[in-house]
Amino acid sequence: MDYNYWKVSFGVKGEKLMKTFKNILSWVLPIVVGLLVATVIRHFVFTMVRVDGPSMEPNLENNERVAVVKTAKIRHLSVIVFNAYKVDPDAKEKGVKYVKRVIGMPGDTVSARDGKIYVNGKAIKQNFISQFERTQGTGNWDLYSLSNRNEWTLQTTKVPKNSYFVLGDHRSVSNDSRYWGFVPKSKVIGVVKVPIWDTSAKKRHNVNSLGY
């Protein structure tokens, strides 16, 4: 056997194999890195969700897709997405998500009368819905009367620590904190942001820019 020929032949084949491997790696590696980056972003930065139902009309429509920013700070009037499982007794599945607007922050008092909503005794601006929408379905209540009427486990006059009081913009059809109580901070997935290419400028403003 000519060992020198074998070494040369193996060397040529080895070089071809290495070249092939490098070529494969050159397009596989970017895909793998891209998938890893996308996964990290989805879990820790933002994700996309689909609005289900009319409870946030007129600002968010049924089947509309919106971004959920997980790192955004929650403020009064922020629109949030949260896991409704074990928050709303009617949410029987673990993956059920609700989209609502934050009205009360931890420690706030919240009440409603004649279409006006009061937070810590001061009427808040509700320019994100019409006067008709404010007076249709909001009701007259405070946190204590709601907690008694709906037999919440916690009867309170203030939003508890690490919790939020939320309402839908379409109050007459919204299933929200008026019925089942507060949203624990641990259940919040993130703050909703409507993409710039979607819906109208007014609706984007009403969702993206009202937090205070």
Nearest CA to 101 among 61, 45, 59? 59
- Residue 153 vs residues 149, 180, 181, 182: alpha-carbon distances, Å: 11, 10, 9, 11
The token duo for 208 is: 């993206």
Catalytic site includes residue 55: yes
Which of 55, 78, 111, 174 is flagged as catalytic?
55
DSSP lists the bridge partners of residue 104 as 165
User: Is-catalytic flag, 177?
Assistant: no
Alpha-carbon span 82 to 53, nearest angstrom: 15
CB count in 10 Å sphere of residue 129: 20
Instruction: List the catalytic residue out of 78, 100, 147, 174.
Output: 100
Alpha-carbon gap, residue 206 to 187, rounded angstroms: 23
Query: Where do the DSSP E strands lie in the chain?
Result: 46-50, 65-69, 79-83, 97-104, 110-113, 116-119, 122-123, 141-142, 163-167, 183-184, 188-193
Active site residues: 55, 100
